[in-house]
Structure 1
Amino acid sequence: MTALDARDIHRYRKQRGVNLGSWFVLEKWITPKPFVNTQGSSDLDVAKSANAKQILEAHWDNWITPDDWVWLRDRGINAVRVPIGYYHLAGPYPEILKGTDFNGLGPVFEGAWTRITRAIATAGGYGMGVLIDLHSAVGKQNGDAHSGAPGPIRFYEKRNMDQTLNALKFLAQALDIIPNVIGLQLINEPQNNPALPSFYSHALDTLRKLAPDLPLYIHDAWNTDQYAELVSRRKDFVVLDHHLYRCFTSEDQNQSGDDHARNLRGGTLGHFKGISNKIAGNLVVAEYSAALNQRSLRSGDAGEQDRQRRVFTAAQLDLYNETCGGSFFWCYKKQEGWDAGWDLRNASLAEIMPSFYGIRKTSQGIHNDAGRREDEKRRATNDHVNWWNKYPGHYEHWRFELGFQQGWDDAFVFFNFRDSSASVSEIGFRGQLARRRSSEHIREKGESNVWEYGESI
Structure 2
Amino acid sequence: MKGFLQKAKAEWKDRSQREEPGQHQQHQEHHQPHGPPSHCPPAGHQNHGGINEPTALDILRYRYHYGTNLGSVYVIERWLQPSRFPDGAEGSSELAAVVAWVDREGIDCARRKFEQHWSSIVTDAAIGWLVNEAKCTTIRLPIGYYDLPGPEFTRGTPFEPYAQVYCGAWNSIRSLIYRLRERSIGVMLDLHALPGGANAQEHSGTNSGRAEFWHSDFNRALGIRCAQFIAHEARSGLGIAGIQLVNEAEWESHRMYEWYDEAVAAVSAIDPSIPVVISDGWNLDKAVEYSLRTNSVYAEHPKTPVVVDTHFYWAFTDADKQKSPQQIIQEVGTKLGQLDGKEGSVIDRGAIQTIVGEYSCVLTEDSWAKGGGVPKEELVKKFGEAQSRRYQQRAGGSYFWTWKMDWMPGGEWGFKAQTDAKNIVPPQHAILGSGEKARRLDRAKSEQDGRKQQAFQQHVNYWNQVDPNGTYEHEKYEYGWHVGYSDAMAFFEGRDTQGDRIGMLELWVLKRIRESGYRGGFTWLFEQGLRKGVSDFYSAIGI
TM-score by length of 1: 0.93
Secondary structure of the corresponding residue to residue 104 of structure 1 = helix
Pick from 58, 68, 71 the counterpart of residue 18 of structure 1: 68
Shift of 1:26: 0.7
Q: CA contact under 8 A between 2:480 and 2:526: conserved in structure 1?
A: yes
Aligned to 1:76: 135
Write the mapping of 1:176-195 to structure 2, written as runs, cut at 5 A. 176-178=235-237, 180-191=239-250, 192-195=252-255
Q: Hey, what's the Cα distance between the residues in 1 that align with 2:290 and 2:308? A: 9
Cα distance 1:276–1:335, how it changes in 2: closer, same or farther (>3 A)?
farther
Give me the CA root mean square deviation.
2.2
2:36 matched residue in structure 1: none
Is the 8 Å Cα contact of residues 19 and 332 (structure 1) preserved in structure 2? Answer: yes
* Residue 440, structure 1, aligned to residue 440, structure 2: no
Q: Identity rate of aligned residues, in percent?
A: 30
1:279 deviates by: 6.0
Counterpart CA distance in 1 for 2:72 and 2:372 is 30
- SS of the counterpart of 1:291? strand
In the TM superposition, residue 275 of structure 1 has moved relative to its aligned partner by: 5.8
Q: How many angstroms apart in 1 are the aligned matches of 2:151 and 2:341?
A: 44
1:302 Cα deviation from its structure 2 partner? 11
Deviations 1:220-270 (A, max 9, x none): 0101111111111112411000011111111112112221121222x3253
- Residue 453 of structure 1 corresponds to which residue in structure 2? 526
Quick one: which of 202, 205, 230 aligns to 2:262?
A: 202
Tell me how many residue pairs correspond in the alignment. Answer: 450
Contact 2:144 2:205 in 1 (8 A): yes
Q: CA–CA distance in 2 between the matches of 1:453 and 1:111?
A: 48
3-state SS of 1:289 partner = strand
Greater CA radius of gyration, 1 or 2?
2
1:403 counterpart residue number: 480
- More moved, 288-297 vs 169-178: 169-178
The question of 1:342 aligning with 2:413 is answered yes
Which residue pairs with 2:187 in the alignment?
Answer: 130
8 Å Cα contact 1:7-1:179 kept in structure 2: no
Q: TM-score, with normalisation over the residues of structure 2? A: 0.79
Judged with a 3 Å threshold, the aligned counterparts in structure 2 of structure 1 residues 134 and 311 are, in CA distance, closer, same or farther, namely same
Q: Tell me the residue number matched to 1:117.
A: 174
SS at match of 1:181: coil
1:221 aligns with 2:281: yes
Alignment of 1:76-115 (within 5 A): 76-89=135-148, 92-115=149-172
Label 1:41 to 1:275 Cα distance change in 2 as closer, same or farther (>3 A).
farther
SS of equivalent residue, structure 1 residue 17: strand
Aligned runs of 1:13-412 on 2, under 5 Å? 13-37=63-87, 38-49=89-100, 50-51=104-105, 52-74=110-132, 75-89=134-148, 92-151=149-208, 152-156=210-214, 157-178=216-237, 180-191=239-250, 192-235=252-295, 236-265=304-333, 267-268=334-335, 270-274=337-341, 280-298=351-369, 304-336=375-407, 339-354=410-425, 358-359=429-430, 360-362=432-434, 365=438, 366-367=441-442, 369-389=444-464, 390-391=466-467, 392-412=469-489
| CA distance in structure 1 between the partners assigned to 2:112 and 2:383 by the alignment | 41
* SS of corresponding position for 2:311: strand
Structure 2: how far apart are the matches of 1:237 and 1:148?
28
Give the deviation of 1:368 after TM superposition. Answer: 6.6
Per the TM alignment, residue 370 of structure 1 is displaced from its structure 2 partner at its CA by 4.6
Between the aligned partners of 2:237 and 2:475, the Cα distance in structure 1 is: 37
Q: Tell me, which stretches of 5 or more residues in structure 1 are unaligned?
A: none
CA distance in 2, matches of 1:303, 1:177: 54
CA distance in 1, matches of 2:361, 2:122: 22
Q: Which amino acid aligns with 1:456?
A: G
Structure 2: tracts of 5 or more residues without a match: 1-50, 296-303, 531-543
SS at match of 2:362: coil
Q: Deviations over 1:44-66 (max 9, x none)?
A: 11111234323322221222211
Distance between the aligned counterparts of 2:342 and 2:478, measured in 1? 29
What is the rounded CA distance, in whole Å, between the counterparts of 2:228 and 2:413 in structure 1? 32
